[in-house]
Amino acid sequence: MGKKVKEELSSFFNTLVEKFKRRTSAPENLEPELSKFISFKKEYPFFLKKKFFKGDKETQSQVLTLISAINDKSLCFLLREMIEDKFLDIEIKVQAANIMSFIDKNLPEALLLSLRRAASFKEIFCSKKGVLPEDEAQTLAENFFELNRDIWPGILNQIVSEMQEYSLPFVSRLILKDPALDILIVDILAKVIHQKSVELIKEIHDKSGRENANLNNAIKKSFFLLKQRGLGTEGISLKEKVETPVFRPQPLKGEGYVSSLDPEGNQLVIFTHPTPPKGLILFQTVINYDEGIMDFRGLEFTKKSFRSYIAEQLSNKEFPLVEADSQYCKFLLREASDRMQVLKKSPPQEYVDLQKFFDEKKVSFEESLIYQIIKRDEIREKELSESQVKKLLDLPELKGVCIKSERLEKYLNQLNEIETSKIILNKYQKEERVTELLEEAAKEIFDKGLIRIIRRKLEEISYVLYKLGNEEESKLSLTEAMFIEKDLEAQGKNLFLIELMKRSVLRLKKIKEEREKEEPSLIYKL
């Protein structure tokens, strides 16, 4: 899907959403945007799919409202994926099932009823305030077991995530009833930072976990996570099951892909976690070297559907992806998470919920993957020439190495003063004053922290350039990355930083001028 098509679809979608908000969702009130939207027959279903699975609950509801207005059987595949997604909110699943039952009369009535019962169960449960009395907890547990087994994982995960420790009396009445359910409960309890969680997991372990290898492994992981979060697990001994096979199958390895940086400095990172025999979990995250984790999603795929999905992503020439070690993708994610801790920001909740699938502490990478391809002794730590700097910064991949506009306001004002000065200056005097301004700005803006962020961006861009076949440009980027931290006291003389500063200021100036042109004037010419 090309950039222009995406922009048009996004524009139509946003207009339609505004009409939904004005309660004009009847098809005749959505024209002409609705007809224009569905005229992209091949593209719009996949646009809606991405919009849905990347969006929050409100966006997901808007997508479903639009699907209802379109009323086309070709969208049943998407509705079916929504209904089958374990991590999806039950209310959204019900909405998807209601729409599908209207579009496709073949939807089993039993499935729709089971989803509605689950949604009603969750609503009743989450309306409870405070700790549940024993009799209410028992009644809710009995009602839970009457729900369809396929719905158990999703509904239990949502209830525990929302109610936290208040759900534990209810959970305590579910354990030791079903081995598969016990494994699910052990995984979910790792999210509830409460000593009662430890006690429940210990009870499961003591009564049934010792001889069940899968359950025992789940218990180990949850105990480890709870211990890391400050809860005591003393006195708990997990019996290891002795395994005798001489030949062990090699663990399945995930795949990984990374993009270059967009103009906002964001990088798309995709990696997978195999779930034998035929499935996998795809983790898709957007990281930013200044801000940390901007977005995080975990989606279940079959291997076949993943191959189709990743092929579509790899075909995008405007924002290309390149292969990377899946463990390295986890390293990038851990690095972004650490950045958020420095900024005292919380990572996305879905990232916290799904951490059990990728143990970042076992990641062996400690530096950029480019150093496994281009050795340090191949690169001389020297400053790039002026022509090399301009060649490097002219690359589209370098647009992500930008300086935040709030850092530049002061210097943009000073640049405007130089250009509009009433003091008569010749061309060379103006250029000299501008150069002095940029050197002074570089000294003030490029502190140690920002320099290191720019170094990391250059390293990642170097890796992507190399994988795209641009070895010369890759080495230019890596050369500057290795040199930039060599003399932190000489930022004002670094050709790359001065040119970057100049382009960033001029870019901001252009943006402001374009905005001023677009703003309506209050003065009417007669």
Is residue 127, in this structure, part of any structural domain at all? no
- Are residues 361 and 455 located together in one domain of the fold? no
Residue where one domain finishes, among candidates 338, 366, 394: 366
Q: Which of 306, 339, 366 is the last residue in one of the domains?
A: 366
Q: Are residues 401 and 480 in the same domain?
A: yes
Same domain, 280 and 388: no
> What is the distance between the alpha carbons of residues 146 and 182, in angstroms, rounded to a whole number?
17
Residue 39 covered by a domain: yes
Cis amide leading into 249 (omega within 30): no
Amino acid found at 240: E
Looking at the structure of the chain, the number of domains it has is 3
Q: Are residues 265 and 394 in the same domain?
A: no
Using alpha carbons only, give the angle 128, 133, 136 rounded to the nearest 5 degrees. Answer: 70
In-domain check, residue 51: yes
What is the reported pLDDT for 520?
58
ω before 251 within 30° of 0 (cis)?
no
For residue 171, tell me if it sits in a domain.
Answer: no
Is the CB of residue 96 less than 8 Å from the CB of residue 83?
yes
Q: Is residue 155 part of a domain?
A: no
Q: How many CB atoms lie within 10 A of CB 66?
A: 24
pLDDT digits (tens, 9 = 90+) for 37-55: 899 988 898 899 988 888 8
Provide the token pair at 209.
Answer: 């976990």
Cα dihedral 401/343/232/169 (nearest 10):
-100
Of 302, 393, 382, the closest CA to residue 80 belongs to 302
Confidence label for 258 from pLDDT (cuts 50, 70 and 90): very high
Do residue 326 and residue 426 come from a single domain? no
pLDDT in tens, 218-240: 888 888 888 877 776 665 555 55
Cα–Cα distances in Å, from 435 out to 382, 383, 431, 441, 505?
Answer: 22, 19, 6, 10, 12
What is the overall mean pLDDT for the chain?
83
- Pick from 366, 390, 419: which residue ends a domain? 366
Range of the domain at 459: 377-518
Q: Which residue has the tokens 């922009």?
A: 7
Pair (361, 388) in one structural domain: no
Residue 404 sits in the same domain as residue 435 = yes
**Residue 251: predicted pLDDT:** 60
Residues 395 and 457 in one domain: yes
d(CA 106, CA 457) in angstroms, rounded, equals 52
Question: Cβ-count burial of 158 within 10 angstroms (0-12 exposed, 13-18 middle, 19+ buried)?
Answer: buried
Kindly state whether residues 362 and 388 are assigned to the same domain.
Answer: no
Same domain, 441 and 507: yes
Condensed to tens digits (0 to 9), the pLDDT of residues 129-154 reads 777 788 888 888 888 888 888 888 88
The residue-averaged pLDDT of 496-525 equals: 75
- pLDDT over 80 at 8, yes or no: yes
In a domain, residue 139? The reply is no
Q: Are residues 321 and 435 in the same domain?
A: no
Q: Please, are residues 272 and 254 in contact by the beta-carbon 8 Å criterion?
A: yes
**For residue 44, is it within any domain?**
yes
- pTM of the full structure: 0.52
Could you tell me if residue 340 is inside a domain?
A: yes
pLDDT, residue 457, reads 95
Let me know whether 349 and 424 are in one domain: no
Per-residue pLDDT tens digits for 263-299: 889 999 999 988 877 789 999 999 999 999 999 999 9
Under a CB-based contact definition with an 8 Å cutoff, are residues 196 and 175 in contact?
no
